[in-house]
Structure 1
Amino acid sequence: MIFVAGPFMWLAMSSFPTRLLEGYQSFMSGRYTAERNRYRDLAEAGQEPHTLVIACCDSRAAPETVFDCGPGELFVVRNVANLVPPYAPDGNFHSTSAALEFAVQSLKIRQIVVLGHGRCGGIKAALDVDAAPLSPGDFIGQWMGLLKPAAQQIKDSVLLTSGERQFALEHISIRNSIANLRTFPCVKILEDRGKMALHGAWFDISTGELWVMNSQTGDFSRPETSLA
C-alpha cells in the first residue's frame, strides 16, 4: 500500500513511468522472490562485487544483461562511450574517477573491464567534429574531446568508410581507456605487483557477439565458448 501526503505528492506518484512500475512489479514477483535471501544477505553484509565494469550508458548494452550477472556481482560505472579520463587530482568533479577510486580502494576489486559496443552514439559524435553542440555547455563535445587526437586521425583517412571509422574508434577508445586507467596510482601499483588485471571487451548489439581484447597485442577476438 502506498500512502500519499496531499494532492501534489499524488501528482508526482501518478506521473511515474508506468512501464517502470510494471517492471518493478514483475521483479518483485519474479527475481526478487527467487533471490530474496541473497538480497537480504547483501543488505546486511554489504557488497563484494568481483569485477568493476566501465561501460557506456547506451540502453542497449547493459553489462548485467550482457554478462548475465546477479545482484552484488558487478560494480558498474556507465558514461558516454565508456571513457576513463586520465588521473587528474585537480579538485574538480570527477564521477568516473571517484567510482574507480571507491571500487579499487574500498571494495578491493582487482578485475576491471572496459566494455565498449557497436553503433555507439558517443563515438559517432567524436567523429563528427563539425557537429553543433547540443547545448551551450557542450558537455558531450567536451567529454568526447578525450578521444579527439585519435578521432581526427581516423576521420582524415580517406581509405576508410564511415562504418569502418566508427568500428575502429570504438576499439581504440577501449584501449585508450585502459591506458588512462594506468595513470591512476592505485591501479598502476596493483597491476605492477600482479594484483590487478585490466581487460577490454566490445559487444556487438546487432549479433550479440562479444569480442575480448588481447592484453598483449590490443587485438580483439571472439573467445572460445560453447556458443562459438
Structure 2
Amino acid sequence: TYTPEFTAEVMAGLGIEGIYFFYGLSEASPIVSATEISAQMIAKPNTMGFPVWYVDVEIFDDNDQPLPRGEIGEIVVRGPNVFSGYYKRPEANAEVLRGGWLHTGDIGYLDDDNFIFFVDRKKDMIKSGGMNVYSLEVEQGLAKAVPEISEVAVVGLPDDAWGEAVIAFVVLKAGAELTEADIIAAARAHLGGYKLPKKIVFRTELPKN
C-alpha cells in the first residue's frame, strides 16, 4: 500500500522523476499490470495499475462467476504469459487453472477504468460473525489510527462465538505506552465494528518469515 505522499517522498529521496508499479506472480511470468506513476495514478491511491496489453483480468466470486466493477472477489488472469502448469501436479493444476483462468489467490477489485486494486490474500481473509474481514485492511486501519504502532499483524483465530476472531499482534514504537482499550478506541473511526480486533496482543517484535 502506498500514498501519494509516500510516493513523492520515495522519488525525492532517490532523486528520480518517475516510478513504476507492478503486480504479478511467478505463474504469470510474472507481470500482470505495469503502470508508471502519473496524475491518474496519484488520483487512484493503492491501485496496482492497469493490466498489460496482452493480459485479461477479471474478478470472480466463489462460484467462479465474474463480478461487476467495484465488487471484491478473487483476481483471475488469462493470457499468453500464464504458465502451463506445475510439474507433475495435476490436481493443483486443475484447481489453479480451472475454467481457463489462472486463479491467483489474491482478493481485489477492478474499477470502472479497469485498474486493479489489491485487497488481501484469499488465504488471509478472516470470516468473523458471517462477515469477510480482510487482514490487510485491518492492519492499514490500525496503523493509520494509531501512529504509535511500529508493526502490526492481523490474523483470525478459531472462536466459538464468531467462527474466527480478529486478533492483532502489535509492536509499539519506542517509548509509546498504550493499552488495548486505547488502540481499539482509536481504531473505531477507521474500521467498521465487525472489523475491530477482538484482542490486541502486544509484542516486542514480530517474526519476519
Instruction: Indicate the TM-score class for this superposition, using the shorter chain for normalisation.
Output: under 0.3
Of structures 1 and 2, the one with the larger relative CO (CA 8 A, separation 6+) is 1
More helix by share: 1
More strand by share: 2
TM-score (norm 2): 0.26
